[in-house]
């Protein structure tokens, strides 16, 4: 029920293993029980001193933020050796060789690059980020050190850039909700090794489970190439492929066990004001098309995909979004040549719809099979790119719907060509990317104003 509760309201108070937010420190209470982890002090002046000492760009201190005991001197602790004395400040860091006599200097200039990074992130124009810009950004943020989740724990903007989760707190809440299922990942890896075992291949460095999940989120959020991910994490491209396959299967199994379809009365409880003219709308249907790498030979025996035109190297899926922002329906993928009418009939959506239900679709969408429902086909769904700033009800609804669908489509994975190594998992990747939208953001309905910021 934890996942279901998290999906429905996304307001639960989660706890998790503690991690150090200091740059270049990978300490975690899960893997190092000898350390203690300390909250930032409530006193504003002392907290500011901590932040200045830590020297983390754009550090956002949250209830999850911790500094581990490695960064305090022995004199900072009370007699029990675990509690800090009042006024203690972290002073021992990687950049001063953990020595109080060292001069603490900033990792880099605070002007220029920082402002440039902030401007780039404020725009959130992820689609325009080139591979070169991405590598430069990563190099600047990490200082060339080990890439992983904790490197960006202090910045919600960086977390959103690399994962699409709106904040570090949301991401850690999601991790907590699935963490007790992680042994299933180990089991999946063991099965893969049994099938693909090769004693001639030397063992490769392994990542912590939370960083493996972070890698998958990087792939879905940024549509990065496997080689680029391998370079970032210091592993082989084949290992990247294995991690993406394992974790997409895992999340497909865990998240897919949650019933995401929401009943009409529950949707009405969270109906946004923009939908007053469409108050009985249960679902907004939209299509998604994915491209996959064209096989160079007859890799798929029994299928003629390799002999078809490039335009046939696509797959199409149907997904549905509730007016308040939750993804409530995801179909399997079908060949790109399939017609929309066939897509609707085979997707399974008809089994969920009842007579009189409100369904919003794009103009031109076949509605014969939806005839028993109340069909809304507003112009703004066809002209979303032409929406103006007019303050009328239909335009506000159009902006709202654009935002709902955009939250799904914002995963750059959908804009890339799926490599052949991942073709066997394309349904899982597509489904997981859609489902993650329910955990990455808050709801957009009336309850939005009630959620704490």
Q: What is the pLDDT of residues 210-227, one digit of tens each?
A: 999 999 999 999 999 999
Instruction: List Cα–Cα distances, 271 to 93, 236, 326, in angstroms.
Output: 50, 47, 11
Q: Are residues 251 and 269 in the same domain?
A: no
Q: What is the CA radius of gyration of the chain?
A: 24
d(CA 170, CA 176): 10
Q: Are residues 248 and 389 in the same domain?
A: no
Q: Are residues 164 and 247 in the same domain?
A: no
**In CATH, what number is assigned to the domain containing residue 307?**
3.30.420
Q: Quote the number of domains for the chain.
A: 3
Quote the tokens at residue 178: 């699935």
Q: Are residues 159 and 229 in the same domain?
A: no
Q: Which of 235, 255, 275 is the last residue of a domain?
A: 255
Tally of CB atoms within 10 A around 447: 16
Q: Which of 203, 224, 255 is the last residue of a domain?
A: 255
Q: Which of 207, 225, 255 is the last residue of a domain?
A: 255
Q: Are residues 353 and 438 in the same domain?
A: yes
Q: Are residues 191 and 234 in the same domain?
A: yes
Q: Are residues 376 and 409 in the same domain?
A: yes
pTM given for the model? 0.65
d(CA 344, CA 32): 52
Range of the domain at 109: 2-174
pLDDT by residue, tens only, the chain of 453 residues: 345 443 343 333 334 578 888 887 877 777 667 788 999 999 989 998 999 899 877 778 888 889 999 899 888 988 877 899 999 999 998 888 777 653 333 333 333 333 333 332 233 334 344 555 555 555 555 444 568 888 888 888 899 999 999 999 899 999 999 988 888 787 776 665 544 444 444 444 478 899 999 999 999 999 999 999 999 999 999 999 999 999 999 999 999 999 999 999 999 888 888 888 888 999 999 999 999 987 764 444 444 444 444 445 899 999 999 999 899 999 999 988 888 888 899 999 999 998 889 999 887 777 777 778 898 887 766 544 433 444 444 566 777 888 888 889 889 999 899 998 898 899 999 999 999 999 998 654 443 433 332
Q: Are residues 221 and 156 in the same domain?
A: no
Q: Are residues 281 and 382 in the same domain?
A: yes
Q: Quick check: 59 and 21 in contact, CB under 8 A?
A: yes
Q: Are residues 240 and 274 in the same domain?
A: no
Please enumerate in sequence order all residues whose Cβ is within 8 A of that of 347, keeping only pairs 6 or more positions apart, or say none.
317, 318, 331, 332
Q: Are residues 154 and 205 in the same domain?
A: no
Which DSSP string do the residues of 283-342 spell out, in sequence order? EEEEEEEEEEPPPSSS-STT--GGGS-GGGSEEEEEEEE-TTS-EEEEPPPEETT--HHH
Q: What is the pLDDT of residues 37-65, one digit of tens each?
A: 999 999 989 998 999 899 877 778 888 88
Q: Are residues 131 and 39 in the same domain?
A: yes
């Amino acid at each position: 029920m934890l996942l279901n509760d998290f999906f429905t309201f996304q307001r639960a108070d989660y706890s998790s293993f503690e991690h150090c937010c200091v740059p270049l420190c990978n300490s975690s209470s899960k893997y190092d029980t000898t350390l203690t982890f300390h909250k930032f002090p409530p006193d504003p002046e002392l907290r500011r001193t901590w932040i200045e000492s830590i020297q983390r760009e754009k550090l956002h201190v949250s209830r999850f933020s911790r500094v581990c005991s490695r960064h305090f001197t022995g004199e900072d602790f009370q007699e029990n050796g675990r509690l800090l004395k009042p006024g203690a400040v972290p002073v021992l860091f990687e950049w001063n060789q953990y020595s109080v006599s060292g001069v603490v200097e900033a990792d880099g200039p605070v002007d220029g690059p920082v402002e440039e990074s902030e401007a780039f992130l404020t725009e959130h124009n992820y689609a325009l980020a080139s591979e070169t810009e991405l590598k430069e950004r990563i190099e600047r943020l990490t200082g060339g050190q080990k890439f992983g989740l904790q490197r960006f724990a202090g910045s919600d903007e960086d977390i959103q850039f690399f994962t699409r989760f709106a904040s570090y707190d949301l991401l850690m809440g999601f991790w907590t909700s699935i963490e007790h299922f992680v042994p299933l990942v180990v089991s999946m890896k063991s099965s893969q090794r049994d099938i693909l075992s090769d004693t001639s291949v030397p063992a490769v460095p392994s990542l912590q489970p939370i960083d493996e999940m972070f890698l998958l989120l990087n792939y879905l959020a940024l549509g990065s190439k496997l080689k680029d991910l391998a370079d970032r994490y210091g592993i082989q491209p084949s290992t990247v492929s294995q991690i993406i396959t394992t974790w997409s299967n895992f999340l497909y199994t865990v998240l897919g066990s949650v019933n995401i379809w929401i009943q009409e009365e529950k949707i009405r409880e969270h109906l946004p004001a923009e939908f007053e003219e469409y108050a009985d709308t249960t679902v907004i249907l939209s299509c998604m098309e994915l491209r996959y790498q064209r096989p160079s030979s007859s890799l798929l025996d029994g299928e003629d995909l390799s002999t078809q035109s490039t335009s046939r190297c696509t797959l199409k899926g149907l997904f549905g979004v509730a007016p308040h922002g939750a993804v409530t329906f995801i179909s399997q993928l079908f060949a790109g040549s399939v017609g929309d009418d066939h897509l609707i009939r085979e997707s399974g959506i008809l089994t969920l719809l009842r007579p009189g239900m409100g369904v919003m679709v794009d103009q031109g969408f076949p509605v014969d099979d939806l005839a028993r429902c109340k069909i809304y086909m507003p112009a703004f769904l066809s002209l979303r790119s032409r929406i103006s700033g007019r303050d009328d009800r239909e335009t506000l609804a159009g902006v709202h719907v654009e935002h709902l669908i955009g939250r799904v489509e914002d995963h750059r994975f959908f804009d890339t060509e799926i490599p052949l190594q991942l073709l066997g998992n394309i349904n899982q990747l597509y489904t997981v990317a859609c489902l993650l939208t329910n955990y990455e953001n808050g709801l957009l309905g009336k309850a939005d104003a009630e959620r704490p910021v």
